[in-house]
Amino acid sequence: MNIETVKIENNEGDFRVNGTMIVPPSTDNADYVFVQEWIAAGNTPAPQYTDEEIAFNTQAELNATSQAYLASTDWYITRYAETAVAVPEAVTLARATAREAIV
């Protein structure tokens, strides 16, 4: 195998090689043996996430959490529209925060 890039895939010791191959940490695996030789030759695997990827993942998680909160409180809005029962102030404020958080 011709190794060009090696990146840490997860916290279980797996590597992503050349962007396309996920190699488990087992000496039974011929590709893992190649990766170990590559490291022994003085190379260092890239971290699991770049700063950009960490920022993207953080935002994605925030988006999902915010969307889930909005969905779970939509019934307050429906109830207000149908019966004029006021939406609690805390819910209104929290929904506003959730909407602003979504990018």
- DSSP letter at 23 equals E
- Of the two residues 19 and 90, which places its CB atom closer to other proteins in the complex? 19
For 37, the 3-state DSSP assignment is: helix
Residues contributing to the site for other proteins (CB under 8 A): 1-2, 9-10, 12-14, 16-17, 19-26, 28-32, 56-57, 60-61, 63-65, 67-68
17: Cβ contacts below 8 Å, ≥ 6 apart: 1, 3, 5, 6, 7, 23, 31, 35
- Of the two residues 63 and 92, which places its CB atom closer to other proteins in the complex? 63
To the nearest whole angstrom, how small is the minimum distance from the Cβ of residue 32 to other proteins?
8
